[in-house]
Structure 1
Amino acid sequence: MNFVQQLSLYISITAFIFLILGLYRPWAMLWWEDVQNRRKVIRLYGSIASVAYLAHWIIVLLDA
């Protein structure tokens, strides 16, 4: 369970870093999309970061 907890934390940190990079230069983070804008970056990487961080804390609370 510790591995999944750390993995979800690392995924949320990575998604947050990608979110910051994508706000500066959206093309770098959404190169596969036809239209790259900051709203899509926030929607994609913000939701990944939020869900992974929430999963991390659920696992922490269940493990305690």
Structure 2
Amino acid sequence: MNFVQQLLLYISITAFAFLVIGLYKPWAMLWWEDVQNRRKVIKLYGGIASTSYIVYWLMFFIIK
């Protein structure tokens, strides 16, 4: 279980870094989309970052 917790933490940190990069240059993080804007960056990477961080903390409190 410790591996899954670390993986979720790394995913949330990486998604947050991608969110920051995407807020500066949306094209760099949404190159496959037809229209790249900051709202899409926030939806995609913000959702991934917050969801994985919440699941990380839920697993932290359930296991301990």
TM range (shorter): over 0.9
**Gaps in structure 2 of 5+ consecutive residues:** none
- Provide the aligned length of Structure 1 versus Structure 2: 64
Alignment of 1:37-56 (within 5 A): 37-56=37-56
Could you state the TM-score of these two structures normalised by the residue count of structure 1?
A: 0.99
1:30 aligns with 2:30: yes
Q: Give the aligned CA root-mean-square deviation in angstroms.
A: 0.3
C-alpha distance after superposition, 1:20-55 (max 9, x if no partner):
000000000000000000000000000000000001
Runs (4 or more) in structure 1 with deviation over 2 Å come to none
Identity %: 70
**CA–CA distance in structure 1, aligned partners of residues 63 and 2 of structure 2:** 9
- Structure 1: gaps spanning 5 or more residues: none
Deviation at 1:10, TM superposition (A): 0.2
TM-score by length of 2: 0.99
